[in-house]
Amino acid sequence: MKQPLENKLIISTRPLSDDDSIKSALIGKGAVVLDFPMIKIVTNELNTEIRTALANISSYNWLLFTSKNGVDSFFRLLQNNQSEKPVELPKIAVIGKTTASEVVKNGFQPAFVSAGNTSEDFIAELQQKLTLNDKLLLALGELADAKFENALAATATLTRINVYKTIETQINSAEIIQCIKRDAYDLLVFTSPSGFRNFVKVMNENDCRNNFRIACIGKTTEREVLKQGYTPLIVSAKSSGDFFSNEIENYFIKYTH
């Protein structure tokens, strides 16, 4: 029986990962997935700000995560900073099931998982859980904006720590670049604004300004794609591998049959 995405060549610009659920789901549907990572996620060093937050972790009511990367980097830093004494974390709140799964992998259970998949959804739902003067610790990447600080300032006391940074990759595959220039692919996958920005930069450097076929996750990434003058074919509301791969499958069923 023919698989849904058989013979479809999909180029993923996501950071390399041992547990890339999107890549696994696409391959499971028969797609050929080429890795063309545009960014790399790097855990920050243990600076004074992060050490202070971790030392006072028990004083917080909530620990907030918005992404798998934030969870992974936070727990690496926690492990590096930890003494022999087991640490007790505050209640954990996360955006979506993918982020929740990463918390569970690190041995903890989220107390709250937002039903929505955007920062705006998360903030609105979390505010229903907060009491006045709650103390929140928010673990983010350096490129994240200040929407949490601005939205929650009147409700709670929020401390932000930047636990990772996003670095543009410098080494790119000449074969994949030629594949894109020849239009010999079916879809390009993007999951972050910074990944798309570097992709456009790389393509411009290689004299390639095609009308790229783009699938992306989330409104933030979509806004960057539109800002750069392109229009995504698919914008997924959820970041889980199964959901995104189903959206891609449905697109090909609808428009290529």
Domain extents in the chain: 9-38+171-255, 42-166
Is 110 in a helix, a strand, or coil?
coil
DSSP 8-state assignment for residue 121? H
End-to-end CA separation in angstroms for the chain: 17
* CATH classification number, 42-166, choose in 3.40.47.10, 3.20.20.140, 3.40.50.10090, 3.40.1390.10: 3.40.50.10090
Residue 86: the pLDDT is: 64
Per CATH, which fold does 9-38+171-255 belong to?
Rossmann fold (3.40.50)
List per-block mean pLDDT (blocks of 10 residues) for the chain, which spans 257 residues: 86 90 94 96 95 94 94 94 73 92 94 86 90 92 90 88 93 90 96 94 92 93 95 91 93 80
- CA 47, distance to chain mean position in Å, is 24
Q: What is the CA radius of gyration of the chain?
A: 20
Q: What is the DSSP letter of 233?
A: S
| Topology agreement, domain 9-38+171-255 and domain 42-166 | yes
pLDDT of residue 212: 96
What are the tens digits of pLDDT across the range 132-165?
A: 889 999 999 998 889 888 888 888 899 999 999 9
Rounded to two decimals, the pTM is 0.86
